C-alpha cells in the first residue's frame, strides 16, 4: 500500500548553523500535503482502518491530526467527522471543511472533545482515529527518522515538539529501529502545556489542571503513556519554552527560511534559536520542522502582539 505522506526535504540551515555555532539540519515536514508531520501517522492508521473495513472515520483534534484524517479520508473515499475544541480557530475549521470533513465543535479542551468524539464514533459505527496514541501512528511517524538515515545524516541530537506524544514515540521508535540508541531527543513543550515534562518529573502520568498556551495543538492535558515509557528506555530531555519564544521563533523562521509554521512547531525551533542547554555540546542537530496548517500571517501577527514577540 503506497503511503499518503511524502519523503520531505532534509535541509542544512546555513542561518541557524551560523547562529547556533554547529550544524543544524531541518527535516521539513511543514511541506507535507497537509502542512504537518501528522499525515505520516494518521495516514498509516487510516489506511489500516480502511483495509479492515472502516466505512467512516471520526477524530478529535485541535487541527493538524484532524486535517490529516480529513485528507486521508478524501484520498481513500471514506467520509470523515472531525470534532474540534472550542479554541480551534475558524481558519482551521474551514480547512477541514475544504477537505470534505464534517466538523463538530465540542469541549474547551482536547480531552473533553476526545470523549465526545468517542461517543460520535460509536453512534456512527465509525472507526475512531486517535490523534497520537496508537502503535500504528508511531510506526508512521518513525518513517521520518528512516528518511534522515537514508539521506546520510546521523545527528547528535533530535529536537522535536511534544503535544500528546505521538511524534515523540515515532521518533524514538525510529531511532531504536536504526539502533541509534545513544542519540538523545530534546522534547520541547510550552510552559503552559508541559504534561510530558511533568510526567517525567513525577515518574508517572500527570493530568494538567488546565492548558494555557498559544500553541493550542500541543494542548494535551495528559501525554500518551507510551511516551513516558519510551522516555525511560531512551535518552530524552524535556525542555520548556515560553509562548513568546515560540512565536518569536515562528517569525524568525519565516524571515530566515520563507516557511510559515505554527507555534507548536515554533517551540522546537525556539530551543535552537535560544541555544537550549541540552544542545550545548552537539555538533549535528536535527530539528523536526513539524509544521502546522493552523497558521497564516494574520494569526502570526496577532500572536506576536499578544505575547510581545518581535
Segment holding 38, helix H or strand E: helix 38-51
Please tell me the distance from the alpha carbon of residue 270 to that of residue 43, in angstroms, as a whole number. 28
Alpha-carbon distance values, 192 to 9, 213, 243, 262 (Å): 31, 5, 8, 16
Alpha-carbon distance values, 279 to 87, 106, 186, 275 (Å): 33, 40, 8, 7
The cell for 122 is: 460509536
pTM: 0.94
What was the pLDDT predicted at 215?
81
What was the pLDDT predicted at 157?
98
Please tell me the distance from the alpha carbon of residue 154 to that of residue 296, in angstroms, as a whole number. 33
What was the pLDDT predicted at 113?
92
Do 177 and 267 meet the contact criterion of CB atoms below 8 Å apart? no
- Model confidence over 209-229: pLDDT tens digits? 888 888 877 777 889 899 999
What was the pLDDT predicted at 235?
97
Grid cell 473495513 — which residue? 53
Q: Within 13 A of 233's CA, how many CA atoms are on the CB side?
A: 15
Residue with the larger pLDDT of the pair 193 and 13: 13
- Model confidence over 156-205: pLDDT tens digits? 999 999 988 999 999 999 999 999 999 999 999 999 889 999 999 999 99
Residue 65 scores a pLDDT above 80: yes
How large is the average pLDDT for residues 30-50?
Answer: 97
What was the pLDDT predicted at 278?
96
Q: How far is CA 177 from the centre of its chain?
A: 21
- Model confidence over 103-147: pLDDT tens digits? 999 998 788 899 999 999 999 999 999 998 899 999 999 999 999
Strand partners, 237: 186
The cell for 37 is: 508531520
How large is the average pLDDT for residues 148-162?
Answer: 98
What was the pLDDT predicted at 54?
95
What was the pLDDT predicted at 220?
78
Do 23 and 283 meet the contact criterion of CB atoms below 8 Å apart? yes
Do 236 and 172 meet the contact criterion of CB atoms below 8 Å apart? yes
Residue 266 scores a pLDDT above 90: yes
What was the pLDDT predicted at 109?
79
Give every CB contact of residue 5 below 8 A, 6+ residues apart in sequence.
Answer: 32, 33, 39, 40, 43, 140, 143
Q: What percent of the chain has pLDDT over 90?
A: 82
Please tell me the distance from the alpha carbon of residue 270 to that of residue 255, in angstroms, as a whole number. 14
Do 166 and 41 meet the contact criterion of CB atoms below 8 Å apart? yes
What was the pLDDT predicted at 111?
81
CA proximity to 61, closest of 77, 50, 45:
45
CA proximity to 185, closest of 142, 222, 242:
142
Residue with the larger pLDDT of the pair 287 and 209: 287
What does pLDDT average to over the chain?
94
Residue 47 scores a pLDDT above 80: yes
SS3 at position 17: helix
CA proximity to 67, closest of 291, 297, 298:
291
How large is the average pLDDT for residues 71-87?
Answer: 95
Amino acid at each position: 500500500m503506497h503511503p499518503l505522506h511524502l519523503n520531505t526535504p532534509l535541509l542544512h540551515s546555513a542561518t541557524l548553523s551560523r547562529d547556533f555555532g554547529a550544524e543544524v539540519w531541518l527535516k521539513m515536514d511543514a511541506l507535507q500535503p497537509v502542512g504537518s508531520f501528522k499525515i505520516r501517522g494518521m495516514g498509516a492508521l487510516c489506511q489500516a482502518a480502511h483495509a479492515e473495513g472502516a466505512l467512516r472515520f471520526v477524530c478529535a483534534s485541535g487541527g493538524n491530526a484532524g486535517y490529516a484524517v480529513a485528507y486521508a479520508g478524501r484520498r481513500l473515499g471514506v467520509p470523515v467527522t472531525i470534532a474540534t475544541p472550542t479554541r480551534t480557530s475558524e481558519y482551521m475549521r474551514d480547512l477541514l471543511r475544504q477537505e470534505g470533513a464534517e466538523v463538530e465543535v465540542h469541549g474547551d479542551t482536547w480531552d473533553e472533545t476526545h470523549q465526545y468524539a468517542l461517543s460520535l464514533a460509536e453512534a456512527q459505527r465509525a472507526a475512531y482515529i486517535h490523534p497520537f496514541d496508537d502503535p500504528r501512528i508511531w510506526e508512521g511517524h518513525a518513517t521520518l527518522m528512516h528518511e534522515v538515515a537514508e539521506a546520510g545524516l546521523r545527528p547528535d541530537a533530535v529536537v522535536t515538539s511534544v503535544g500528546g506524544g505521538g511524534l515523540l514515540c515515532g521518533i524514538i521508535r525510529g531511532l531504536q529501529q536504526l539502533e541509534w540508541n545513544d542519540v538523545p531527543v530534546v522534547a520541547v513543550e510550552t510552559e503552559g502545556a508541559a504534561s510530558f515534562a511533568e510526567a517525567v518529573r513525577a515518574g508517572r502520568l500527570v493530568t494538567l489542571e488546565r492548558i494555557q498556551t498559544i500553541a493550542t495543538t500541543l494542548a494535551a492535558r495528559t501525554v500518551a503513556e507510551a511516551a513516558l515509557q519510551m522516555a525511560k528506555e531512551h535518552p530524552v530531555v524535556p525542555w520548556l519554552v515560553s509562548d513568546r519564544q515560540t512565536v518569536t521563533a515562528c517569525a524568525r523562521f519565516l524571515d530566515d527560511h520563507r516557511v510559515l509554521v505554527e507555534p507548536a512547531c515554533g517551540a522546537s525551533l525556539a530551543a535552537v534559536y535560544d541555544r537550549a542547554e541540552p544542545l550545548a555540546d552537539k555538533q549535528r542537530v536535527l530539528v523536526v520542522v513539524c509544521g502546522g496548517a493552523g497558521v497564516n500571517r494574520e494569526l502570526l501577527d496577532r500572536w506576536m502582539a499578544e505575547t510581545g514577540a518581535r
